[in-house]
Amino acid sequence: MCGIVGYIGNKKAKPILINGLLRLEYRGYDSAGIATIENDKISVIKNKGRVAELDKVPGINDLQGTIGIAHTRWATHGKPSTENSHPHTDMSKQIAVVHNGIIENYSELREFLQKNGYTFYSQTDTEVIPNLIHYYYEKESENDKELKLLKAVHNTCQDLKGSYALEIISSLLPDKMIVVRKDSPLVIGKSATEKYISSDIPAILSYTKDFYLLNDNEYVILSKTNADFYDKDLNKFNKPVENIAWNAAAAEKEGYADFMLKEIFEQPKSIRETIGSRLTQDGTCNIEGLNFTKEYLESLNRIYIVACGTAMHAGLAGKTIIEKYCNVPTEVDIASEFRYRDPLIDEKTLVIFISQSGETADTIAALKLSKAKGAKTLAVSNVIGSSITREADYTIYTHAGPEIAVASTKAYTSQVVLLAILAIYFAKVLENKKYENEIKELSREILELPSKLEEVLKNVKPIKKFAKKVYTEKDMFFLGRGVDYTAALEGSLKLKEISYIHSEAYAAGELKHGPIALIENGVTVIGIMTDKNLVEKTISNVQEVITRGAKTLIISNQDLGDHKFDNVVTIPETNPLISPILSIVPLQLFSYYISKEKGLDVDKPRNLAKSVTVE
């Protein structure tokens, strides 16, 4: 997905912009470009392909400007090409723009501008923006150049339908930059004499920890020393600075071959951060930001958990715990389905949204819909100040640290941990006596998870060995029952994403109802068995596939009795409700090693983006 970087200060902008773009590479892109201003003239350099290639384009090192904008493009309108890359300028080359998002009515605007004498050089939706700014600038009667440009940008935004985060520089106002956002992320990092702008905090985290977190329809005029904020009606206002406690080193590989491997191995630490002081050994549970009352929780007739992809799988694991200890029917929904299916929501519904990035377009739309229907909304996110956290009534953070690899790993385990803690919190507010002892026990087990994860991560060899054996396969199957099925779904998604092997996850009991017809000699089946009450049942399903010639990998913490399986990865025992937090780790590693065996780009799998900010 597209990425934005910007700089305004005393240093040469080009190296800072390129460095920022490199840090955004994980989002996925097909072309990149930068623009700077020098001697009141805009210079644009852009290129199809990687940022490293952009950095070799003749003339790029001659850019001396101390103000600049940069972009990595993920093609939506128009093929990947140099002409379609950002920045785009207006016809007179006085205004340059980079844009994340989609302008839905661009054809109409393009037609309007063409009728007014404007010429277009790309197939993008973005190119209408600098031209429309130019059109309004020319029409504006305001004398002050700064306000004149701001009003032109404001008028332009009134015409745009869709989503946008924009950085705008102009030779008409060569020492300033205007930025604005709507439904697409944008943050501004600040120091006394510099401003760093980005779509993602990690891209600029090495420069500052002080950020302005922009809301929708807020306009900012930036100079190296100032940031002037204007609301949707161009009334000036003050915005507080937020301190982001993330460590810049956390956004580096730190000696690991890939971000994904680093993030897998970080899980004991990230889980510790998620637990923080929310749970204690003596059984207390407090979650900052939440103040639900017993009356409110008792009034609920339904909880929805809404998310996409991995976050949705975390929701499936969380559902079982919340439903059990809170006694409220809890449904998990895919955000892109939920938003279009007129779900049953009223003021007695609590809707929980899970999103690592907090910027997923479908999840945000589902949140807005839920609010409009009168539900209370609770965001579970990893990114401070992200869009869902600003929309939701309540927010709780996973505190997993920046997740850079496209395939989500540590965010998933932190999400499941946080949902388990949320279930305990709800049960305590509800004064649920029935499960008091069980909940105490569950709290203890959660606190033990980081050290158990460390144990899991010591047992990498058998996973690597099995991955070596099967990496050339075309299909694989994941089986599990109960929460093991939710882990199977996530394991299967990881495999698809980074190894490009087709895989399916089945609730083991469903095998006989169709999927077993797919099992033949040599097929690979991964069985997950962490629940004492279900292990015998899953064992018998796995025996059925072995009889039909399948190669198996078993992830278990149960006594497998006399059953002899060829490849078993034993993980520590824990409460089955939270076992996906442990059982998913060998599955993450399995996908990782397969991807490595196949020589693929683990961190940047094809066709995928880290943050899916468009539908």
Residue found under tokens 């929805």: 304
Quick one: which of 273, 350, 364, 354 has its CA closest to 312? 354
Complex with ligand F6R: residue 118 or 412, whichever CB lies closer: 412
The verdict on 101 binding ligand F6R (CB under 6 A) reads: no
The verdict on 270 binding ligand F6R (CB under 6 A) reads: no
Tell me the closest approach of the beta carbon of residue 314 to ligand F6R, in angstroms. 8
Among the residue ranges 45-53, 68-76, 258-266, 355-363, the one whose residues contact ligand F6R (CB under 6 A) = 355-363
The verdict on 541 binding ligand F6R (CB under 6 A) reads: no
Tell me the closest approach of the beta carbon of residue 312 to ligand F6R, in angstroms. 7
Binding mask 380-419 for ligand F6R (x = CB under 6 A): ---------------------------xx-----------
Name the active-site residue from 2, 157, 285, 326: 2
Where is 582: in which H helix or E strand? helix 580-597
Calculate the CA dihedral of residues 208, 13, 5, 17 and round it to 10 degrees.
Answer: -100
For ligand F6R, the binding residues in 185-204 under the rule CB under 6 A are: none
Quick one: which of 209, 194, 239, 168 has its CA closest to 390? 239
Name residues whose C-beta falls within 8 Å of residue 327's C-beta, 6 or more positions apart in sequence: 430, 432
Q: Are 55 and 45 in contact (CB under 8 A)?
A: no
Among the residue ranges 25-33, 220-228, 352-360, 475-483, the one whose residues contact ligand F6R (CB under 6 A) = 352-360
Q: In what order do the strands lie in the sheet with 475-480?
A: 502-507, 475-480, 524-529, 551-556, 568-570
Complex with ligand F6R: residue 135 or 397, whichever CB lies closer: 397
Complex with ligand F6R: residue 310 or 492, whichever CB lies closer: 310
Residue 270 identity = S
Angle between helices 145-159 and 128-139 (to 10 degrees): 130
Of the candidate residues 31, 363, 395, 524, the single one contacting ligand F6R (CB under 6 A):
363
Complex with ligand F6R: residue 68 or 605, whichever CB lies closer: 605
Tell me the closest approach of the beta carbon of residue 355 to ligand F6R, in angstroms. 3
User: Distance between CA 582 and CA 438 in Å, rounded?
Assistant: 20
Quick one: which of 176, 168, 74 has its CA closest to 125? 74
Binding mask 495-514 for ligand F6R (x = CB under 6 A): --x-----------------
User: Distance between CA 490 and CA 504 in Å, rounded?
Assistant: 10
The verdict on 318 binding ligand F6R (CB under 6 A) reads: no
Residue 337, classified by CB atoms within 10 Å of its CB into exposed (0-12), middle (13-18) or buried (19+), is middle
The verdict on 35 binding ligand F6R (CB under 6 A) reads: no
User: Distance between CA 7 and CA 13 in Å, rounded?
Assistant: 6
Please give the structure tokens belonging to residue 115: 């009728």
The verdict on 54 binding ligand F6R (CB under 6 A) reads: no
Tell me the closest approach of the beta carbon of residue 310 to ligand F6R, in angstroms. 3
Of the candidate residues 100, 198, 355, 588, the single one contacting ligand F6R (CB under 6 A):
355
Complex with ligand F6R: residue 482 or 491, whichever CB lies closer: 491
The verdict on 90 binding ligand F6R (CB under 6 A) reads: no
User: Distance between CA 504 and CA 482 in Å, rounded?
Assistant: 16
Residue nearest to ligand F6R (CB): 309
Name residues whose C-beta falls within 8 Å of residue 160's C-beta, 6 or more positions apart in sequence: 103, 105, 109, 129, 182
Tell me the closest approach of the beta carbon of residue 23 to ligand F6R, in angstroms. 17
Answer yes or no: 308 catalytic. Answer: no
Beta strands in 356-442 (DSSP E): 376-381, 394-397
User: Distance between CA 211 and CA 193 in Å, rounded?
Assistant: 14
The verdict on 297 binding ligand F6R (CB under 6 A) reads: no
Name the active-site residue from 14, 190, 376, 610: 610
Please give the structure tokens belonging to residue 207: 């420069």
The verdict on 525 binding ligand F6R (CB under 6 A) reads: no
Long-range CB contacts (within 8 A, 24+) of 223-227: 223/8, 223/175, 223/176, 223/195, 224/8, 224/9, 224/10, 224/66, 224/175, 224/193, 224/194, 224/195, 225/192, 225/193, 227/188, 227/190, 227/195
User: Distance between CA 393 and CA 156 in Å, rounded?
Assistant: 31
Of the candidate residues 84, 184, 360, 389, the single one contacting ligand F6R (CB under 6 A):
360
The verdict on 268 binding ligand F6R (CB under 6 A) reads: no
Answer yes or no: 2 catalytic. Answer: yes
Complex with ligand F6R: residue 17 or 493, whichever CB lies closer: 493
Complex with ligand F6R: residue 330 or 613, whichever CB lies closer: 613
DSSP-assigned letter for residue 215: P
Helices (H), 477-534: 483-499
Binding mask 572-611 for ligand F6R (x = CB under 6 A): ---------------------------------------x
Tell me the closest approach of the beta carbon of residue 496 to ligand F6R, in angstroms. 9
Left (φ > 0), alpha (ψ -120 to 50) or beta: where does 567 sit? Answer: beta
Of the candidate residues 319, 612, 613, 614, the single one contacting ligand F6R (CB under 6 A):
612
Tell me the closest approach of the beta carbon of residue 467 to ligand F6R, in angstroms. 18
Residue found under tokens 């204690």: 280
Of the candidate residues 47, 72, 310, 377, the single one contacting ligand F6R (CB under 6 A):
310
Tell me the closest approach of the beta carbon of residue 455 to ligand F6R, in angstroms. 24
Tell me the closest approach of the beta carbon of residue 101 to ligand F6R, in angstroms. 16
The verdict on 311 binding ligand F6R (CB under 6 A) reads: yes
The verdict on 36 binding ligand F6R (CB under 6 A) reads: no
Tell me the closest approach of the beta carbon of residue 407 to ligand F6R, in angstroms. 4
Using DSSP, state whether 146 is helix, strand or coil.
helix
What's the CA angle centered on 474, arms 605 and 506, to 5 degrees? 90
Tell me the closest approach of the beta carbon of residue 381 to ligand F6R, in angstroms. 8
- Give the interface size with ligand F6R as a residue count (CB under 6 A): 15
First to last CA, the chain: 12
Of the candidate residues 6, 309, 385, 480, the single one contacting ligand F6R (CB under 6 A):
309
Interface with ligand F6R (CB under 6 A): 308-311, 355-357, 360, 363, 407-408, 493, 497, 611-612
Q: Where in the sequence numbering do the catalytic residues fall?
A: 2, 610
